[in-house]
Amino acid sequence: MARIVMSSDGATRPTGISRPVDELGRIVLPVELRRSLDIKEGDRMSIYTAGNSIVLEKATPRCAVCGIEKYELHQLGNCHICTVCAKRIAVMTEGVWT
């Protein structure tokens, strides 16, 4: 039996709530959990497995180039890029599009 672990501090808390999986594999997260974990419509969720459990957590933006979570991220289309990688790319491509 799979468990869904959802908490901001990583602790497992039984909720007593069960939801059916629909034909597309979706599960509706109860509004009480969304409110308590500050999950809003459109938030991206990261999905992991841990043994026989499914772990959901709010996705943290990461640099699309180096993959490291950084505070100075810039939106680039549908992804983010950190200042360090942006500067490296600027140096590597200097004069390429002139």
Quote the pLDDT of residue 16.
82
What pTM did the predictor assign?
A: 0.53
**Mean pLDDT, range 77-95, rounded to an integer:** 88
Q: CATH number of the domain at 3-58, please?
A: 2.10.260.10
Give the lowest-confidence range in 23-27, 67-71, 80-84.
67-71
Helix, strand, coil fractions of the chain, as percent rounded to 5? 15, 25, 60
Segments making up each domain of the chain, as ranges: 3-58, 61-98
State the DSSP string of 14-44.
Answer: ---------TTS--PPPHHHHHHTT--TT--
- Coil, strand, or helix at residue 4? strand
The 10s digit of each residue's pLDDT in 33-61 is 889 888 999 888 888 888 888 888 888 88
The winner for highest mean pLDDT among 8-12, 13-17, 43-47, 70-74 is: 43-47
C-alpha span between 89 and 10 (Å, rounded): 36
Q: Which residues of 53-88 are buried (b: 16+ CB within 10 A; e: fewer)?
A: eebbbeeeebbebeeeebeebeeeeeebbbeebbee
User: How far, in Å, CA of 96 to CA of 98, rounded?
Assistant: 6
